[in-house]
Amino acid sequence: MKDKGKLFVISGPSGAGKSTVVFKATEGRDDVCFSTSVTTRKPRPGEVDGKEYFFVDLEQFDEMVKNNELLEHATYVANSYGTPRAYVEKQIDAGIDVILDIEVQGARQINEKKPDAVKIFIIPPSLQDLERRLRGRGTDTERAIEARLIRARQEYAEADFYDYIIINDDAESAAKELAAIMVAERCKYSHRAHYLKEV
Amino acid sequence: MKDKGKLFVISGPSGAGKSTVVFKATEGRDDVCFSTSVTTRKPRPGEVDGKEYFFVDLEQFDEMVKNNELLEHATYVANSYGTPRAYVEKQIDAGIDVILDIEVQGARQINEKKPDAVKIFIIPPSLQDLERRLRGRGTDTERAIEARLIRARQEYAEADFYDYIIINDDAESAAKELAAIMVAERCKYSHRAHYLKEV
């Protein structure tokens, strides 16, 4: 009996270094993938359906929402995005871990529809540090930086349903923690109880 | 603020290879220790109070039980043994992980008195494999082997309160899983929520 994979929901303030941590933690693994979203946005040149996104029209999207086929969904600037349950479940059944980088509100929706998803919150060592990182990137206006900091505070206050907190002080250590969490979750009693029951 | 340690309760049938797995998983770490038990047994030559055991008389032991100073206790062949709460808490407060190798009944007592203890069940890949290992050791009589196998089945059936199951197919991989669990547990939301609250 092949062990199933798990859904790992990763959140954290913009500038916390989530992508680097996830990249380092999963490097070289062939049994992990990123979730592919459904979107009503038009494909850009070169984008392939089922690779960058699953492209659907608004009617199909609404149908998916109605049929509870999306684990979460949201609308940004006239385009809707969602996480397709069937795609995620298919990977998990094949023993593949699925990673989803999403903000706190989306994570909360997923937590309600799929409580066994593993919720991980990645934060910088402090908000002062986050501010330094955001300024260091040089991509945001002063106003955008302030908005991001306010948003981070809000997210911290709403993050009580996460299972784990990773403090990204050093990307290598943070990646080791994420990798350890992914291993540990596969050892959970609920995930392996069948080994005891087969006796 | 220094992170606290955690209590890791390790159980599993005799012959599952627990000691090797624990040894490999904690090798080189100076922030982990084994729990020291209290006992009414007389010290053997060379044994030091507070090292192999805390040696107490029966009256002191009963007093500790009455005052809820033991996380679990049991009596074998006229001698009583117990896990002292104060010792465990002191290590944990100092940021040290405490490992306790104990059978299922003791683990259940600890689970009731200290629900945040991390309970890990280490098993061989199969009972056939366990039987092979027990015979391979050549230390048990045929009757003792049969008794151990019956006991293993019982323990499997009672192990539903454990947090994790490690299958010791290969000691290196099993040790990696145990080490990962120890890292992951330190990342738990409940263990790190203070980082969010300090904001």
Per residue in B130-162, pLDDT (tens digit) is 999 999 988 889 999 999 999 999 999 999 999
**What is the enclosing helix (H) or strand (E) of A149?**
helix A142-158
* Count of pairs with CB atoms under 8 A, one residue in A, one in B: 95
**Chain B contacts of A189, Cβ < 8 Å?**
121, 159-160, 162-165
Mean pLDDT to the nearest integer, B177-190: 97
* Residue A1 neighbours by CB distance under 10 Å: 6
Q: How confident is the model at residue B197 (pLDDT cuts 50, 70, 90)?
A: confident
DSSP string, A150-186: HHHHHHHHH-TT-SEEEE-SSHHHHHHHHHHHHHHHH
Contact A14, A148 (CB under 8 A): yes
Nearest CA of chain B to the CA of A50: how many Å? 33
pLDDT (tens digit, 0 to 9) for every residue of chain A, 199 residues total?
578 999 999 999 988 999 999 999 999 999 999 999 999 999 999 999 999 999 999 999 999 999 999 999 999 888 999 999 999 999 999 999 999 999 999 999 999 999 999 999 999 999 999 999 999 988 889 999 999 999 999 999 999 999 999 999 999 999 999 999 999 999 999 999 998 886 6
* Inter-chain touch A164–B189, beta carbons under 8 Å: yes
pLDDT value for A1: 56
Using a CB–CB cutoff of 8 Å, tell me whether B150 touches chain A.
no
* Inter-chain touch A163–B189, beta carbons under 8 Å: yes
pLDDT value for A153: 94
* Inter-chain touch A180–B199, beta carbons under 8 Å: no
**Residue in A163, A166, A196 nearest the CB of B156:** A196
The three-state secondary structure class of B49 is strand
pLDDT at B1 over 60: no
Contact A16, A122 (CB under 8 A): yes
3-state helix/strand/coil string of B85-103: HHHHHHHHHCCCEEEEECC
Question: For A118, which residue in chain B has the nearest alpha carbon?
Answer: B188
pLDDT value for A138: 85
Assembly ipTM: 0.91
Nearest CA of chain B to the CA of A38: how many Å? 30
**Residue in A156, A189, A196 nearest the CB of B199:** A156
Q: How confident is the model at residue B77 (pLDDT cuts 50, 70, 90)?
A: confident
